[in-house]
Structure formats: structure tokens, C-alpha cells
Amino acid sequence: MDSGVVRARGSSSAMTGLHDRVIAPARTLRAMFTRFWPLTRPDRPTLLGAGLLLIVAAAADTVAVLMFMDIIDGVVSSGKLSGYWEPAGIWASVAVAGAVATACGSYLLARAGERFLLRLRDTTFAHLQRLPPHFFAQHPPGDLVARLSGDIEEIETLVSAGVVQGVTAAVSVVFFGGAVFWLRWDLALVVIALLPALLLLTRRVAKGFRVTAQDERLSNGAISDVVEQGVSNVALAQAYATEQVEAERLHEQGRAWMRARLAQMRLTAVYTPTTDLLESLCVLTVLGVGVWEITQGRLTIGGLVAFSTFLGFLYTPIHSLSSLFLTMSAARASSDRVSEVLDAVPAVTDLPRAWVEPARHGRLVLAHVGFSYPAARRPSLTDVTLSTRPGQLVLLTGPSGAGKSTVAGLLMRFYDPTGGRVLLDGVDLRDYSLSALRHSITLLPQQAAIVDGTVAENIAYGSPGASKRQIGDAARAAQAESFIQSLPRGYDTRLGSHGTALSGGQRQRIAIARALLRDTPVIVLDEPTAGLDGPAAAALVPALRALIRGRTTILITHDLTLAPSADAVLVLDNGRLVEHGTHHQLIERGGLYRHLQGRLDPAASLIA
Ligand SMILES: Nc1ncnc2c1ncn2[C@@H]1O[C@H](COP(=O)(O)OP(=O)(O)O)[C@@H](O)[C@H]1O
Ligand SMILES: [Mg+2]
């Protein structure tokens, strides 16, 4: 049952595709601990302290019950008050000690748990940020949000709270169990007889819990995802009057979630009363045997009262151990989902002795570069060779799907080429540290990203410590200053999901200012004017020229306005470089380039 791949069930699979995904095989509990336990390291002293305090609390309870027995046998039976004070005094002192220990222990426990949660989320997010684009293509954002919130909390409950709860319960079982045996070992055996039944029941329920928890976590991720998509595409839904479809999608996932929750509730609903029933039977048996023993003069009343009290105390930790087992079974689903993120391998990493100095000149060389995306059937690039001198403008064009953005991705080292090499200033990109590389090359993607923050913060994104003046200079060079000044609060206007919306051209200008401020020797522009209409694209050209000036530039575009000033024009088709020359040479040759120019770019011919 544990081995193999578990395929999630769900009637709504076609809706989101989420339920179609195969979840990683459920790991064993031990593997789960090995995975997450190291993260508790900085809090181990705290955990140890909490554990010790909770042991003190258990010991205090034990002493209290023994004092109770003393009072009943020594005072109540004999009727003399003088014997009361000593046990009462001890009882009161241990009760105080126990209360203090419980309070401190629980707080320390909570603290260690919260700190673990913080660390686990930080670690997972940091890892997530290093993952390659195809990981994000396979995992919708809403689902990842759910993994980083709800699933991490599940693991927290288990690893920190669960472990100490488990240790404390185990210690209590030893204390109270020891006391029970010490009082009457034969009566204690009656209690032991109950354990196998409890164990069997717990195992069965735990199995059910694991399966339902998997469904529950999966639906939870799917719900986040539907909401996330619904919110980001709300304009589309309204424009196409598909709100009802979206609502049904959510309802469908909500129902799946409800079914899983109810299945869990059913298990709990049966489990708790059944264990209570087993306990009652056990207590009745003990009482019966005890009363008989008293009539035979082999047990005092105080002894029986103490014995039953210990039994009552013993059930609490046994309960908590078995419920811990259930929590663990449920947390396994979350553990799998977080582990899937942590196990995903970044496509690129720093070599041990990586070059930490950013490149200075910007001489780019692609030598026989080939590339296939992970799990892709066909290569996306085959034997691409090109070289630039510092400061040159190279224009890369070609039909959609030709592999242009793939070239940009390799230059940014989102992936390493599967064949050939990419060199910057004579050094293989793999020999730079990622940080040095990304301080050498700036990418301007097609969709200019705007982060939550002010205009100034957006421009300075990636250039921490830039001064107001530098930001202003960059904005001016990007021809963004006039529109920024017309915003309600100028450079302090908030942009992003909670701020002012900008037009496509304005976003692109902010992005150009941001790139200008970074001032790297190499710039990669991936279709900077796509999505803009002819006049808006034409208006962006001066800003682009400012950005390009003095930097090695790879300009990927269908818009050939800048083609005449390019040092070289390259045409990609089907992953291969098919044409290479200056704009005029290629026009004269009348090949694919000429064809593309006529067909793809009415705007460019309009301006030209
Ligand atoms: N993440 C990916 N996984 C698999 N294949 C991809 C991925 N991204 C792009 N491709 C494929 O690689 C080829 C080149 O894509 P791309 O570089 O985006 O083309 P262009 O930018 O020229 O339009 C296409 O066939 C595309 O389907
Ligand atoms: Mg592209």
C-alpha cells in the first residue's frame, strides 16, 4: 500500500488538471522525520527544556495521586486529622511546581514550533525561488501558495508539537504505568489487555486518515488555485460572462474538499467514542476486581482510589499518543507536498569555485549551442553559433516558436545548454556565480513586471541603494519622467496589484529605467514592443536606443524599426540559425527575413 504511486481520485479532474497530477509516493514516517527534523536544530535546547518541564509536570501529578492515597488511607480511614498536614503540604507544593512547569513547558513548546514553521517556510520559499521555469509551468501558483501555507502548518504541528507531545506522553505512560504496576501488578495486567484492541483500532483509522488527508490537501491546493486564477482573470470572466463557470469550478473543488473533510470527521467520530468505550470497559473490570480484592483484605480503599486515578491519568497520554499517530498520518500528505518542492532540483547552481566578478566588457559567444527542455521530445535549439563584440547590437528574429526566448533563457542561465557553450568575456556562463552572471546581464522580458511598491521602488528593483537622483536620471533616459510626474504622487505613487495601473508602454518604460539603472554590460530584450500598438511601439524606440547605447544588446523582436542600426541580424527558424547578415544584406537576399518583415510587421513598415 505504501509503495507505488498514488493517483488522486476526484471527479473534477478535467477541470483544473490538478487532480490528474501524480503525487509523490507517500513516504514512511521515519523518512518524514529525517527530512524535517534537522530544521529543528537551533531550537533543540528549547525542545529539550520543554520536554523536561513536561516530565516534571507528569512527576508532580504522580506524587499528587500518591499523596491522595496517603490521605484516604491514613486520615479518612483512621479519622485523625494530624496525619493530613504532611501529605497535603507535599501535594500543594508539587501542584504549584507542576502548574509552573506546565505553563513554561507549553510556552517553550509553542515557541519552538513557531520558529520551526518560520524556518521551514523560509527554506522552502528560498528553494522555490531557485527552481527553473518548467517547475512553475507544472505547478500552478495557487497550489504552491497552499503548500507554503497550510501544508507547512500541518508539518509544524507534527514535528515540533507532535514530537514533544509524543515524548511527554511516553514519559507519562512510563510514570503512571510504573505507579500502576508498583501499586498492583496483577491489576495492571488487566489494563494491558486493552492495549492491543486500541492499537488495532488506531492503525485502521490512521490508514483511512492518510488517504483522506491526501485528498483534502489536494483539494485545498486546487481551491487556492481556482481562486487565484479567478481573481487574476476576473476581467476575462466578466467580459465573456463565464462567472458561472468559474463559480462551478470552485464549487466542484469545494465539494471535493468537503467530502475529504467529512470522511475525516467520520473516522474521528467513530474513533473517539470507541476508545472511550474500551476505556470504560477497562475501568469497570478494574473496579470489579479491585472491590473483590478489598473484600478479601488484599487492597485498601485508598489503594483502589489511587489505582483508578492513575488509570485515568494513564489514558490521557495513551489518547494523545494515538491521536499523535493520526496527526502523523494526516501530515504525511502535507509532508509529501512540501517535499515535492524541496526535492525539485534547480536547473542551475554555482560551481564550487565560481567566478564572482561580474563581466566588464560584454563579449558574448554562443558556440554550437543546442538545447532541449527537460522532458521535451524535440530540441528547441540546434547548433546555434554567434558572437558579438562589446557594445554591438544583434537583432534576433524568426517565427513564433523558433527558439528566440530559449536563447534569452540560456543567456540568463535559467538553463544550461545541453550541447555547446555560451561564453561571456571568454568565460563559460557555468563558471560564473549566478549572482555575478545576473549582475552582468539584464533581461527585459516581454511582459514588464511591476512589483508591489512605489514607482521609485520599482525602478530601483535590482539596484538596492540607488539614490533618488540616479533613479530620476534613469527615468529621464527611459523617457518615463513626464508620465511619472503626472501620476498623483509622482515617484511615490504606488504601483502593482494594489496600486495605480499603467499602460503597456508605461510599464515598459519603467522596466527600461530599471534596466538602465542596473547598468550591466549586456542587455537581452525579449520582444520589448510586442503587445504595443504601432505608435506606442514607435514611441518606445528612443528609450530603447538609450538603453542599448554602449551595451552589448541581444534584441529579440518582430519589430524591425531598429534593424537598420543593428550590427548583425540573425534569423532563427525551428531552433536553427538560418540567416545571418546586416539588415540590407538579408533584405536583398530575399529569404525568410524578407518574408517575415513583409508579413509579420505591418507596424514596422508603417513607421519605416
Ligand atoms: N518550458 C518549456 N518546456 C518545453 N518546451 C518549451 C518550453 N518553452 C518553450 N518550449 C518549446 O521550445 C520551442 C521554442 O520556444 P521559444 O524559445 O519560446 O520560441 P520563441 O520565443 O521563438 O517564440 C517551442 O517549440 C516551444 O514549444
Ligand atoms: Mg518568445
CATH assignment at residue 483: 3.40.50.300
Q: Distance, CA 93 to ligand 2 centroid (Å)?
A: 75
Contact between 527 and 511 under an 8 Å Cβ cutoff? The reply is no
In a domain, 97, yes or no: yes
326, 343, 360 - which closes a domain: 343
Q: Which ligand 1 atom is nearest residue 527's CA?
A: 21
pLDDT digits (tens, 9 = 90+) for 571-595: 999 999 999 988 888 888 888 888 8
Q: At what angle do helices 243-295 and 185-192 cross, to 10 degrees?
A: 150
Distance separating the N- and C-terminal Cα atoms of the chain: 68
* 404 CB within 6 A, ligand 1: yes
In a domain, 249, yes or no: yes
Q: Distance, CA 379 to ligand 2 centroid (Å)?
A: 15
In a domain, 348, yes or no: no
pLDDT digits (tens, 9 = 90+) for 264-278: 899 888 888 888 888
The residues of the chain scoring below 70 in pLDDT are 1-27, 160-161, 497-499, 598-608
Beta-bridge partners for 523? 442, 553
Contact between 391 and 363 under an 8 Å Cβ cutoff? The reply is no
Q: What is the largest CA-CA distance in the chain?
A: 120
- Residue 318 has a CB neighbour count (10 Å cut-off) of 22
Q: Distance, CA 407 to ligand 1 centroid (Å)?
A: 10
How many structural domains comprise the chain? 2
C-alpha–C-alpha distance, residues 230 and 235, integer Å: 9
In a domain, 170, yes or no: yes
C-alpha–C-alpha distance, residues 277 and 283, integer Å: 10
| Same domain assignment for residues 467 and 326 | no
Q: Which ligand 1 atom is nearest residue 403's CA?
A: 17
* 400 CB within 6 A, ligand 1: yes
CATH assignment at residue 95: 1.20.1560.10
Q: Distance, CA 399 to ligand 2 centroid (Å)?
A: 9
In a domain, 598, yes or no: no
Q: Distance, CA 247 to ligand 2 centroid (Å)?
A: 33
Q: Which ligand 1 atom is nearest residue 133's CA?
A: 1
Nearest CA residue ID for atom 3, ligand 1: 373
Supply the pLDDT for residue 394: 95
pLDDT digits (tens, 9 = 90+) for 554-569: 999 988 888 888 899 9
Q: Which ligand 1 atom is nearest residue 404's CA?
A: 22
| Three-state SS at 417 | coil
Q: Which ligand 1 atom is nearest residue 398's CA?
A: 22
| Three-state SS at 411 | helix
In a domain, 373, yes or no: no
Domain extent, residue 459, equals: 449-519
300, 316, 343 - which closes a domain: 343
| Same domain assignment for residues 325 and 182 | yes
* 542 CB within 6 A, ligand 1: no
C-alpha–C-alpha distance, residues 606 and 561, integer Å: 10
* 376 CB within 6 A, ligand 1: yes
In a domain, 405, yes or no: no
pTM: 0.78
Place of cell 494530624: 82
Supply the pLDDT for residue 18: 36
In a domain, 587, yes or no: no
The stretches of 233-372 forming alpha helices (DSSP H) are 234-239, 243-295, 301-343
Top mutation candidate among 373, 397, 411 for ligand 1, by most atoms within 8 Å of CB: 373
Show contacts of 282-286: CB within 8 Å, 24+ apart. Answer: 282/190, 282/191, 282/193, 282/194, 282/311, 283/308, 283/311, 283/312, 285/190, 286/187, 286/190, 286/191, 286/311
282, 312, 343 - which closes a domain: 343
